[in-house]
Chain A
Amino acid sequence: MLSNPTLSLDPGRFRLRTKPQYSNDALDEDITRLTGAWAALQSSRDRGAVYAFLSVVYELVDWWTVDGKDKSRARRILIRQGIKPPEVTEPFAAVIVAAAHPAILDKRMISKWSRVLRYAAKYKDPSEPLKEFLKHKGGLNACAGRYARRLGRGAA
């Protein structure tokens, strides 16, 4: 089973490291996963396919947030994709834009998905799958609306 070179780690072949750095190669692999999820969404006729894509985005930003580097990495992913980052970078929106690149998404679509994911980041239990949470809360539009009421500009 160890004949596969990618799984057989010859001790002399890998670099010994002492800090859990997130390298550009690792970021590129995450971009590959994101663009793959975006392509799957584009080629699917299933209305539920969007949840799979949003889950990949959510999962990535989620661990960046735990690591305390969500904003800086959001800027980094945009730069890596050749997109000029805005002055204020919202991590979920940035990752969605980077995943869809070079396709240009409608601003309202990016905003809606970003609000949905921010709502989930705030209220979802970590053990609950994103899809279940969003469906339980009434779907994407309902969650975007909930975000606006509870966390958006018009929040009480």
Chain B
Amino acid sequence: MKFHLDKTLALWADVEVQMAKIHSRRIKRKVVLLSVLLDWEEKGLAMRYCRANGTLGWKATPKFSQHLADAELDATEDLQHADF
């Protein structure tokens, strides 16, 4: 099974795959990817869609983008209040 992800999902899914690989080297990329995508789908962060060539793909939902924006804002605030 081959997964087609949009740019946003591809970037973040790859982070999750790397993390899983650190945790367990024997874990298969495909299994992690599918598990992550289904997990995100259940949280409303990812959705499936029909691609231009008629096959299924995965893309980030507006909720995912909102989460990213919130996370960036939190990180910026943390940085501003950090005590170096």
Interface string of B28-42 (1 = CB under 8 A from A): 000110111111011
Q: Within 8 Å of chain A (Cβ to Cβ): is B81?
A: no
Q: Within 8 Å of chain B (Cβ to Cβ): is A102?
A: no
- Docked-complex contact B34 and A20, CB < 8 angstroms: yes
The residue in chain A whose Cβ has the minimal distance to the Cβ of B12 is A7
- Docked-complex contact A33 and B38, CB < 8 angstroms: no
- Docked-complex contact B42 and A29, CB < 8 angstroms: yes
User: Number of B residues whose C-beta is below 8 Å from A?
Assistant: 40
Q: Within 8 Å of chain A (Cβ to Cβ): is B52?
A: yes
Given contacts A29-B41, A62-B50, whether A7 and B71 have CB atoms under 8 Å apart is: yes
In the bound assembly, the distance between CA atoms of A59 and B75 in angstroms comes to: 34
B17-35 interface with A by 8 A CB criterion: 19-20, 23-24, 27, 31-32, 34-35
Q: Within 8 Å of chain B (Cβ to Cβ): is A153?
A: no
The residue in chain B whose Cβ has the minimal distance to the Cβ of A126 is B52
Which residues from chain B sit less than 8 Å from chain A, CB to CB?
A: 1, 12, 15-16, 19-20, 23-24, 27, 31-32, 34-39, 41-45, 47-56, 61, 67-68, 70-72, 74-75
Which residues from chain A sit less than 8 Å from chain B, CB to CB?
A: 1-4, 6-7, 9-12, 14-18, 20-23, 25-26, 29-30, 32-33, 59, 62-63, 65-67, 125-127
Closest 7 CB pairs of A and B: A29-B44, A25-B42, A127-B52, A11-B23, A4-B71, A62-B50, A26-B41
